[in-house]
Structure 1
């Protein structure tokens, strides 16, 4: 695959999943969609470097209180994505907690209205994440920036693996369209990314234990989400992918919070 195809694939990720203005009409054929999936780890790493850099700067340079710094860090992912994945979290919560059959749940996913379960789950998600950010900043240190960089890296790979390995719940929508770029060797490619990034993180920060724990937590979460989506929805959709990304990032932030709380971060 040519370098230009890969660069376009990365730009497509920015175009679809961030507020970064990409004022170009990019090709959307199978080869470029495959490049999007292959470039997800790099896209996640770029986002991770942004989050880690802001985290480091807030601890080292910010004149604000820990509460103010936590609020700024809490806002960053929301601003970066324009709330795109939070919308998927809301819709998925409304559908899942409706306790209806599979067909009705898929209908609820498509409904633009927000229900009580969606509102409650969003409040819980954002409140929990704010707690994690505040205590990580209050009781951690700037060296944790290396670990923070890993969180979007893992979440983006989770999204890519779900797209690549889970059938679509319906033959329409974003997930179905992106699955035209399925890659039979994607797991191997992601494993290479994982080894390279893991080695770099360990050499630069000696954070071997957090790296291993994050890898294990992400693997467990991926398998749980894949089974759950198949059982309750019959496959993956764009909303379920967004909810999954928010879920794995929240779980990893919680993991880092627990490591900091017990003195291992």
Structure 2
């Protein structure tokens, strides 16, 4: 019963930390519940995606809204559901990387709460690309793309989880370092693999074999991002983790548009 309780607490913690959903309850944070929190991260993405997909389906089927407005609402919905957390990480990443300093300087900029010009430019490009890819998918009459509105956030968060598990933190302080020290890695890997296997079986059952194309691209992108972040920042941080999630969603939507 204790394991089941920690799993439930971890699921609520995932919503508390990785979404805007208010969990107005004091939750017990121990090694087991924190491990379940990270294991629940992809599930949170799947649920958010499923909600947005259902809303998009209603708008496309029962309203006269243009695909432009539907695509805009989807992009805004993605930002709102995450509370802008991942977008904030992407902004900080752009400011830090384009500061053209050494690793120490970049880490200092990464921790700076102020937003610079490169952060603003970066997030504008990010949002425009995401909007453009989603709009094009809808405009081409691919109503089956609604399935990918749920699949893309899920696969992107699987990538975030892999990055978190496989990376050392760039510094010994901060939330990322704290959670990294608390997580039971073996349990997290086993739990995540089982959950991913179940979702994969579901994808095969409904004939969504293109799901595995997204997974393959995600794996390749995570490897590249790991090497890049080690080289430029010396490891992982919360901002880099959030930036990866946003970047993966853009890459995966491009794959959906061009290859599926």
Q: Is the 8 A contact 2:10 2:37 kept in 1?
A: yes
Q: Which runs of 4+ in 1 moved over 4 A?
A: none
Equivalent residues of 2:167, 2:236 under 8 A apart: yes
Which position in structure 2 is the counterpart of 1:80?
A: 81
Deviation at 1:184, TM superposition (A): 2.0
Of 37-46 and 242-251, the range deviating more from structure 2? 37-46
Partner Cα distance (2:92, 2:65) in 1: 35
Q: CA deviation at 1:188?
A: 4.2
The answer to whether residue 57 in structure 2 is matched with residue 68 in structure 1 is no
Deviation string, structure 1 residues 149-207 (Cα, Å, up to 9, x no partner): 11111122222222222111111222112211141254443333333212212322x22
**3-state DSSP class of the match of 2:221?**
helix
Cα deviation, 1:203-246, whole Å, max 9, x if unaligned, reads 22x221x2121011110111111111111111111111110110
- Measure, in 2, the Cα distance between the counterparts of 1:182 and 1:103: 29
Is 1:113 the counterpart of 2:123? The answer is no
2:196 matched to which residue of 1?
194
Give the Cα–Cα distance (whole angstroms) in 1 for the partners of residues 256 and 63 of structure 2: 21
Counterpart position of 1:168: 169
Work out the CA distance in 2 between the residues paired with 1:40 and 1:112.
25
Q: Distance in 2 between matches of 1:219 and 1:141?
A: 25
- TM-score where L is the length of structure 2: 0.93
Whether the aligned pair in 2 keeps the contact of 1:88 and 1:240 (CA below 8 Å) is yes
1:11 aligns with 2:12: yes
Note the residue ranges of structure 2 that are not aligned, 5 or more in a row: none
Q: Contact 2:169–2:236 (CA<8 Å) still a contact in 1? A: yes
Indicate conservation of the 8 Å contact 1:44/1:157, yes or no: no
TM-score (norm 1): 0.91
In structure 1, the residue matched to 2:224 is 224
Partner of 1:244: 244
Matches within 5 A, 1:70-219: 70-179=71-180, 180-204=182-206, 206-208=207-209, 210-219=210-219
Contact 1:41 1:193 in 2 (8 A): no
Query: Would the aligned equivalents of 1:55 and 1:142 in 2 still touch at CA under 8 Å?
Result: no
SS in 2 for 1:223: helix
- Structure 1 gaps, min length 5: none
Equivalents in 2 of 1:217, 1:58: separation in Å?
30
Distance 1:31 1:199 in 2: 27
Shift of 1:256: 1.2
Conserved? CA contact 2:138–2:145, under 8 Å: no
> How many Å separate the matches in 2 of 1:176 and 1:8?
21
CA distance in 1, matches of 2:54, 2:204: 18
